[in-house]
Amino acid sequence: MTTKSWLFTSESVSEGHPDKVCDRISDAILDAFLAEDPHSRVACETLATTDHVTIAGEVRGPNSVRQQVEEIARAAIRDIGYDQKGFSWRTCAVNNLLHEQSADIAQGVDEGDKGEEGAGDQGIMFGYACSETPELMPMPILVAHRVLRLMAEDRKSGVQTGFGPDAKSQVTLRYEGGKPVAVDTVVVSTQHAEELTTAEVRALVEPYVAKAMPEGWGVSSDMKLIVNPTGRFVIGGPDGDAGLTGRKIIVDTYGGAAPHGGGAFSGKDPTKVDRSAAYISRYLAKNVVASGVAEKCQIQLAYAIGVPEPVALYVDTLGTGQADEDQIAATLRELVKMTPRGIRTHLDLLKPIYARTAAYGHFGREPDADGGFSWERTDLAAEIASRFGASAAAT
């Protein structure tokens, strides 16, 4: 084990960040299509700026949902909490430019005479898990998410009226011997009520940072806390900065601790392997780590458009494995069919479960009773452990 010491940083953004507003609208529209027809095809992109939202992309699904797009967008903006001058769910213009899915793309994805649906696009997808936290996620991104989620919960419940919807966090941890040992720096920038001073905003933020710390860590006197370093942050959300779907892909995944294939998730139905294959990659990596076969696991899948089976599966235990990586890969192929249909079936993805993923990370969350975050289950861990003689760590 290395004795090297280093600092590593991850960032998160709140549900009111302009890009996350767009992710939420796109996923809310996806959920509406899947609720009406689970086999809908959706590739929905959103742009938001001052009192304006444009929604574009390709869909194949019920016309009744297309007629509700403006209503869906306004409901999402309202739930996030935007009713301010410059961006309000009541007054913003909503431009719906959704149109039919390309017939050329459809013929590659539809089952046809292949006997199986093909991947919706070519590309590479990564999954990752590590033993740093009970969630089997890198600790910096989990703490960064937690700070903002706690702040948002109190803002939306009315407990804390000083915060606005737009916020960002950044967490730097010190690692020694490959393990996180202390928080070095936390940065929080949050939209706030106009009458609050910088000192008052800092006082509001401090308890949320303390509460977000890993169990047993507390807030060290050595930790540096930086709050709203530019000072005033009253104008926020799409009124302060334009937003686009899919611009926060590192926030959505592992905070930079693992590679990202490049494809965004939000607004895409699960025939799109950008999303579904990233979910199955996380699921497989998490189960490998939960099994005790490795302390870290990184998985890459690669697909060709219109081709059902992945063209490649690569498993890397990053020097922590207790079994041959090729054998682990072969076992995973036996346990899970990694075609687009196989993934959707195994994880039960044809459900309206996606709007909840649009903020605070797609990974490291608790599986929901209705099937949301099904890719966070560790139901394969015991079987993987039995194949390799390891002790399953899954709870």
45: annotated active-site residue? yes
362 carries a ligand binding annotation? no
**Annotated active-site residue in 56, 182, 242, 330:** 242
168 carries a ligand binding annotation? yes
pLDDT in the model for residue 116: 78
Do domains 18-112 and 123-131+270-388 share one topology? The answer is yes
pLDDT score of 164 more than 70 = yes
121: annotated active-site residue? no
pLDDT score of 108 more than 70 = no
Instruction: Check: CB of residue 353 under 8 Å from CB of residue 31.
Output: yes
pLDDT in the model for residue 113: 53
20: annotated active-site residue? yes
241 carries a ligand binding annotation? yes
Question: What would the mean pLDDT of 140-155 be, rounded to a whole number?
Answer: 98
274: annotated active-site residue? yes
**Annotated active-site residue in 36, 37, 51, 58:** 58
**Measured in whole angstroms, how far is the alpha carbon of residue 268 from the centre of its chain?**
13
Question: What would the mean pLDDT of 226-250 be, rounded to a whole number?
Answer: 96
pLDDT score of 184 more than 90 = yes
326: annotated active-site residue? no
Selecting from 3.10.450.50, 3.40.190.80, 1.10.10.410, 3.30.300.10, what CATH number does the domain 123-131+270-388 have? 3.30.300.10
**Annotated active-site residue in 8, 11, 15, 17:** 17
The closest alpha carbon to 243, from 372, 120, 76, 90, belongs to 76
**Annotated active-site residue in 37, 51, 241, 383:** 241
- Domain residue ranges of the chain, discontinuous segments joined by +: 5-13+139-235, 18-112, 123-131+270-388
Coil/strand/helix, residue 43 = strand
Q: What is the dihedral of CA 9, 360, 261, 8, to 10 degrees?
A: 10
Mean pLDDT of the chain: 94
**Annotated active-site residue in 23, 117, 132, 274:** 274
pLDDT interval class at 395 (50, 70, 90): very low
pLDDT in the model for residue 222: 87
316 carries a ligand binding annotation? no
**Annotated active-site residue in 146, 168, 282, 296:** 168
Question: What would the mean pLDDT of 118-132 be, rounded to a whole number?
Answer: 93
**CATH architecture observed for domain 5-13+139-235:** 2-Layer Sandwich (3.30)
362: annotated active-site residue? no
45 carries a ligand binding annotation? yes
pLDDT in the model for residue 306: 87
In angstroms, the CA 310 to CA 328 distance is 16
**Measured in whole angstroms, how far is the alpha carbon of residue 46 from the centre of its chain?**
17
Proportion of the chain above pLDDT 70, given as a percent:
95
What kind of fold does domain 18-112 have according to CATH? GMP Synthetase; Chain A, domain 3 (3.30.300)
Question: What would the mean pLDDT of 211-216 be, rounded to a whole number?
Answer: 90
Radius of gyration for the alpha carbons in the chain, expressed in angstroms and rounded: 21
pLDDT interval class at 111 (50, 70, 90): low
17: annotated active-site residue? yes
247: annotated active-site residue? yes
Residues 243-290 pLDDT 10s: 999 999 999 999 999 999 989 999 999 999 999 999 999 999 999 999
pLDDT score of 208 more than 70 = yes
Looking at per-residue confidence, does 304 or 118 come out higher?
304
37 carries a ligand binding annotation? no
Looking at per-residue confidence, does 201 or 306 come out higher?
201
156: annotated active-site residue? no
pLDDT interval class at 102 (50, 70, 90): low
pLDDT in the model for residue 389: 85
